[in-house]
Structure 1
């Protein structure tokens, strides 16, 4: 870390207050953007998606659990993989304690991946997760919502990730999609976000952004190279004492 300017408490408060003006502007801009997000038009879901769940087959409409809103976390887990993507798991680690709060606001959370249910269940036990997680291995859901791409799409350069703004770097990619179910049972796709649009949903990153070192990803082969599955981090080395006996 580069040497940092050290000031009195009074100077720090003045500098912090100046920065807060920018933070308030950012908050207001974020609130305005959220309003625009809610005002987006919807697309009716015409396909009858059926997923493989712990209690058998379950439809997209049934995933709502009687609530009007459904947030889907697209967790990267291809059928041939033995574990979910470590980066998606970084996000998924924060889902369990969020589910109850979302439910209190008429919103259900579920994860969907293409891997067979047996693999999802085994990995879920390993990670000690309890959120709903179903397999879309027998339908086109992941492909239709642009988080999975066929080999043909990849070879022909036809894969369009993040609405064509981000080059796809694999045939399985992360995302979040949102759906609404009306009183007649019709389901509508209202929103999706991908790539850096997922940052705001990762609490660990938001906390790191408050610290002097930030995400501390400079110099890595790629920004998230440091991330591991939660049970794969090595214990932090003990810092040497500055004093000797």
Structure 2
């Protein structure tokens, strides 16, 4: 029998929904507190204006900002010797969709992907998976400085936020490799509104709920 939520009358459902709404509002309030704290973080300079390779050929890190003041990077796990990118990182990149830069560019921000693999591999993988976000090949030294290479694991995923000052100096303002990454995925946000949730192994769900997927 297909797993499903319990069936109740309308008043019982409305009472349960009201309680859930209170929980949701508490979560939103906490999220706003975290975002406000993030906006008050200090920043630290990047050691050098690294050279990267992307759709426009070789460029400096400063150049890929374009006219933006802020640059948000998702570090895709794709080591130089690999023949394919990490499947979870790939799914994340696909989920971000085509229109994200149109929206964030209106707020002085640009969003890109970065990996250590050669650009030719990145371009081929992007075409195969219909990934439209600009993707740049970066030197290992850059990945190490950003904390995206772990001695015991190799390449690791993460998000780094950069800020370009008036004098052109580039700073890091925020970085994470934690579960907050999931909250930036549109599909994850939508799935978490459903009874089955993310359907991932180990997710806190009622017994019998489908859990066919590894965590994103």
Fold conserved between structures, TM > 0.5: yes
1:226 is displaced (CA, Å) by 7.8
Matched, 1:180 2:163: yes
The two structures have a TM-score, normalised by structure 1, of 0.78
Pairing partner for 1:107 from 106, 109, 117: 109
Which runs of 4 or more aligned residues in structure 1 lie more than 6 Å from their structure 2 counterparts after TM superposition? none
RMSD of equivalent CA atoms: 2.1
Q: Give the SS at the match of 2:156.
A: coil
Cα displacement string for residues 4-41 of structure 1 (whole angstroms, at most 9, x for unaligned residues): 43211122112101221121111111101100011111
1:49-198 matches, cutoff 5 A: 49-95=50-96, 96-136=98-138, 138-149=139-150, 153-154=151-152, 170-198=153-181
Between stretches 46-55 and 170-179, larger displacement belongs to 46-55
Tell me if the contact between 1:51 and 1:139 (Cα under 8 Å) persists in the aligned partners: no
- Does the C-alpha gap of structure 1 residues 8 and 58 become closer, same or farther in structure 2, counting only changes over 3 Å? same
Matched, 1:225 2:208: no
1:94 is displaced (CA, Å) by 2.4
Structure 2 residues without counterparts, runs of 5 or longer: 204-210
Matched, 1:204 2:206: no
- C-alpha distance in structure 1 between counterparts of 2:144 and 2:47, whole Å: 15
Q: Give the SS at the match of 1:91.
A: helix
- C-alpha distance in structure 1 between counterparts of 2:23 and 2:74, whole Å: 31
The two structures have a TM-score, normalised by structure 2, of 0.88
The structure with more radius of gyration? 1
- C-alpha distance in structure 2 between counterparts of 1:226 and 1:27, whole Å: 23
1:192 is displaced (CA, Å) by 0.6
- C-alpha distance in structure 2 between counterparts of 1:88 and 1:146, whole Å: 17
Q: Give the SS at the match of 1:94.
A: helix
- C-alpha distance in structure 1 between counterparts of 2:107 and 2:212, whole Å: 34
Tell me if the contact between 1:50 and 1:139 (Cα under 8 Å) persists in the aligned partners: no
Name the residue aligned to 2:208: none
Q: Give the SS at the match of 2:22.
A: helix
Q: How many residues align?
A: 207
